């Protein structure tokens, strides 16, 4: 599921600010980056049935290199997927309303804190 109406797609942010804001909201970059691509993940675990969802936020470095504090990073369209062990993540699913609502709250928080 893509969040096309997030209002964040195409916005350019300095890497150090992006990293700080994403980290403060529990969005993890971990090893999901290379020289010009970054993906931040937020993991949802439904303890009632064991379902696992990932809210993903792709980014693209347009100036300098990843992990350079003043690098310019273009934000992509956030999307949501459901994890199926051992096959991976599927994005074309019907998602629980409470998970989608939480994703929208994260988008709102990121929008206000990134000042875009």
Task: Note the pLDDT tens digit of each residue in 90-104.
Answer: 999 999 999 999 999
Instruction: Provide mean pLDDT across the span 28-52.
Output: 90
Residue-level pLDDT at 34? 85
Ramachandran sector of residue 101 (left: φ over 0; alpha: ψ -120 to 50; beta: rest): alpha
Give, in order, the Cα–Cα distances in Å from 15 to each of 9, 22, 25, 56, 90: 15, 10, 16, 17, 28
> pTM, whole model, 2 decimals?
0.91
């Amino acid at each position: 599921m893509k969040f096309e109406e997030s209002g964040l797609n195409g916005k350019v942010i300095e890497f150090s600010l992006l990293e700080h804001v994403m980290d403060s909201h529990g969005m993890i970059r971990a090893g999901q980056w290379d020289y010009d691509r970054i993906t931040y993940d937020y993991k949802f675990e439904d303890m009632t049935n064991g379902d696992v969802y990932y809210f993903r936020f792709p980014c693209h470095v347009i100036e300098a290199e990843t992990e350079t504090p003043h690098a310019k990073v273009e934000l992509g369209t956030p999307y949501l997927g459901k994890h199926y062990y051992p096959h991976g993540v599927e994005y074309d699913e019907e998602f629980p309303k409470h998970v989608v609502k939480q994703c929208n709250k994260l988008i709102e928080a990121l929008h206000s804190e990134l000042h875009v």
